[in-house]
A and B are shown apart, each in its own frame.
Chain A
Amino acid sequence: MAKVQLPEAPSRARVNEFAIKLANVNGTGSASTNNLLMQTIFRMGVPVSGKNLFPSNIQGLPTWYEVRVSQSGHTARTASFDLMVAMNGQTYQQDIGEVAPGGYLVYDDSWPLDPEMRRSDITFLGAPLAQLCAQRFNTVKERILMKNVATAGLVAALLALPVDELSKQLVAAYSRRPQLLEDNQAALQLGYQYALENFPCPLPFHVEQMGAPDGRILIDGNTAVALGAVFAGATVGAWYPITPATSVMENFIRLCSQYRRRPGPDGREVNDYLILQAEDELAALGIVVGASWAGARAFTSTSGPGLSLMQELLGLAYYTEVPAVLVDVQRAGPSTGMPTRVQQADLLSAAFASHGDTRHILLFPSDPRECFLHTVQAFDLAERFQTPVLVMSDLDIGMNDWEVPELTWDDSYRPDRGRLLSPEELERLEHFWRYGDPDPEWTTPRAVPGETPRAGHLVRGSGHDLRAVYTERPDEYQEVVDRLLRKHRAAAQHLPPPVVELHEGAPFGVITMGSCDLAVREALEQLPGPAPSYLRVTGYPFPAAVAEFMAAHPHCYVVEQNRDGQLRSLLLIETGFGGERLRPVLSYGGLPITASFIRDRILEQESPQ
């Protein structure tokens, strides 16, 4: 077969600065291709991100994987692709449309491509991968699986990735299954060699080694949360499976079995943890509340629908002042919404979860590293302030691999158990009033069941006085709920500090949270004129710095991933500023936000037509 003749297209010689997208059918093993490519680029020391856009389905529906390579560190999602690897006939039309002018599209020309679909401004590279795999492999299943690995080989050649590195990864993955390893290696070479012989390799945009990825790791947020829970000393986990939070507890199970098992008295292994897969999210949080009440560090992980079910128990924990850690890996709502798509749309329902006057502590991690740090801190905050703490992760952070600085741990760390009194401390007290004698941050002494007769009391979700005794008296009731509000405010200064970057002469400020961070930073670089100031809120209640930032700018843009501007609303509620001060920039289609979207929305509002 002759080499493809290149049409005259603008040169896109952008080494280490491009994006590719792989279109596939889910349930065919395409994840292995994605991981091979992502890992290889990461190990070449080039900043990279991978976004898995998958359907809420097990087999047969379209799935995509987007890889952005950016030596300048812009690894937020982009919507423009230099190379499309279109391996799913169902989505050709859409996939061809997403290629940037001058870009390339690889497809399987075992079957002809409808000439109607061709575009003259991009290069089509056809490779008969299905035919090649059919010749080399015997069973249908093998052919399907191996086509993915062949695709990886092909892309490696196009992007100048070292095929040896891919090969090494296959050895690591299949060292115990020699036949499978041999097949994988053969498939890799099949694709690699075909591309070298038939395509203009490497493409103008490709990867060049930048040195080892020193001090950096590739990790997803859900694994990082689970690590945080292990390191913080959580011993009880309760959960109900839900996309995209499931892998939080699955990782916690895996890590606990690795780090928390020891030989028991009879030689059999015993566990220093207990994880319960509950019957529903109500029970999951109920178990967490019960375990925390009895003194354990306990947590649950969930997503929007689960958070809705947990509302009543969140109110219970708030009012009875029982610690609880909840990790909400947010997905697109409302209702079932789009379970495999991202949003930051649980903000308000989390901040005020439950009926009556309730307020919770929220943390907003922006990447997996912060997922780890915030999870550890969530346990400390929950115990110190004797209240639920919600770690507001999202699907993008939780389920995608992110490149972040290596996690570190201070071995002198000890859990902050707040005012959890020991039997000796209880003995020394003149009296034990569960909701009396507040400290300067409005927390009160706490005692767990089973320790001492000095601590007898009955906590209740019904109206109670300082001694936890039932009351319907306005003054007694109000004394408790007023203190709860003060306690919530006092927590602000203990949350992770917001990220504030003030610029002299900034025309406006930009406020965001969580996984918007990278896209917002990239957008700010693209805006003309004097640099705007930047604020990333990292938790709720907001510290004073947030209102100060708003006061320092004539107006601010609030960038978030939901329809209703929930962060903007929360900022307005808490700071008392008028709505005109905060202009919404809202992305809520379910795909991770992009810099170009943010830039364009800000430009539109700065210079209206």
Chain B
Amino acid sequence: MTSIAKPQIPLLPLERNQLGLTIRDYSGSMSTLCAGCGHDSVTAAIQEALWGLSIAPYQVAKLSGIGCSSKTPQYFDSAAVGFNSVHGRMAAVASGAAAANRDLVVVGVSGDGDSLSIGLGNLAHAIRRNVRMLYVIANNGVYGLTKGQFSASADIGSRSRKGEPNLLPPVDPMLLGLSLGATFLARGFSGDKAQLVPILKAGLSHGGFALVDVISPCVQFNDHEGSTKSFRYVREHELQDIDADIIPVRGQIHSEQTPGSVTEVELHDGSRVLFRAVPEGYDPRDRVRVGSYLVESARRGEIATGLLYLDETTPDMHQVSATTQDRLWDLPFDRLCPGSAELAKFQARLR
């Protein structure tokens, strides 16, 4: 059996959130990923974000596709009902779940193979539909479970562990998202939880599709010299230009500092995001500027991280479809079935 319960070692009194729950109440079973895997840090950050926002653990619907990253829903929030689906289809399955129950906090975890190769189509259209969910790509540029093939996010010239260079251009989920009308685009690094957790919190509070690309190095197959997705490379090339802090509706401000140039955006649930942008004139609501910033930083070999783009005005899937505020899945049957009299009336036209 590869699902291992975590030992419950008593620690110092843990901090409690507004539901009176500790971070432990958001944990799952023991990870079976490789020691030091970046994905485990992503898992921990998701757990902390859920806890920090005081989301009831069972209100979460956690979904994934196939791959190392897609194993991770097992490793957080075991009070939630989850769905480890098939390769590349998580975005579609999550869209369906969000359609059926608009009260769910939908959290999808996927990888670069799952999202940018086999599942690119489904991801693109979930972005277009603006399904309200947090969609995390744990991005390591490599297929781990099949032992080291390049994925679609591998950079040109990045070398595999055997020294083979990647010759094809990468799919950048951030640029992709911009072109598809994404409403929330952020990039983080699994090695920087302090930045990642606020990003995930903002994503969970967002009123649409929150795409978070997390560079999450694969310690087995893509953490060597020559890789552009290694811990060392990302640490050396990360460009933390756009810093964002989230102020939850009921929560406290996480960063007390709010220096000079601050852009404030109110999220769907009333939370606010404060952007502290270092580059002159950076506006996280300006699709064109964000796009050129990303292209330029990539050209310089830098990895721009932070909450890069935010649009809280575009309607989400349910708003576009004018769906009832009630959950569809348990609507009373008499609201759904027209009944025999209407059937007779309908058929009058068929006689």
Contacts and interface: CB of A to CB of B under 8 A. Distances in A.
Interface of A: 43, 213, 216-219, 227, 230-233, 235-236, 238, 259-260, 262, 264-265, 268-276, 278-280, 282-296, 298, 312-313, 316, 320, 406-411, 413-415, 447-453, 455-462, 465, 469-473
Contacts of B338: 230-231, 259
A550 B94 CA distance: 46
A297 B101 CA distance: 12
B329 A235 contact: yes
Interface of B: 1-3, 56-63, 73-74, 77-86, 88-89, 91-101, 103-104, 121-122, 124-125, 129, 317-318, 321-326, 328-331, 333, 335-340, 342-344, 346-347, 350-351
Given A271-B321, A296-B328, A450 B103 contact: yes
A265 B325 CA distance: 9
A292 B99 CA distance: 10
Contacts of A213: 351
26 contacts: A43-B351, A216-B351, A217-B350, A219-B347, A230-B338, A233-B337, A235-B336, A236-B96, A236-B99, A271-B323, A272-B328, A274-B323, A283-B91, A283-B121, A286-B91, A286-B95, A290-B83, A293-B96, A294-B96, A298-B99, A316-B85, A450-B61, A452-B58, A456-B80, A459-B82, A470-B3
Q: By DSSP majority rule, is chain B's interface helix, strand, loop, or mixed?
A: mixed
Contact of B93 (A232, A259, A293, A407): A293
Contacts of B57: 453, 456
Given A289-B85, A457-B82, A462-B84, A450 B322 contact: no
Contacts of A320: 83
B100 A291 contact: yes
Most buried by A among B74, B321, B337, B344: B337
Contacts of B339: 409, 411
Closest 8 pairs (CB-CB, A-B)? A290-B96, A286-B92, A295-B329, A296-B100, A291-B96, A449-B81, A290-B93, A294-B100
Given A218-B351, A236-B99, A286-B91, 12 more contacts: A272-B336, A274-B328, A279-B121, A286-B93, A290-B92, A292-B100, A414-B333, A449-B60, A450-B58, A450-B104, A453-B57, A458-B81
A415 B338 CA distance: 14
B99 A470 contact: no
A406 to B, nearest CB: 6
A217 B3 CA distance: 58
B93 A459 contact: no
Contact of A231 (B74, B79, B82, B337): B337
Contacts of A217: 347, 350-351
A461 B283 CA distance: 43
A474 B5 CA distance: 21
Contact of B95 (A259, A290, A473): A290
A268 B322 contact: yes
Contacts of B84: 458-462
Contacts of A274: 99, 317-318, 321, 323, 328
A447 B83 CA distance: 12
Contacts of B340: 408-411
Contacts of B351: 43, 213, 216-218
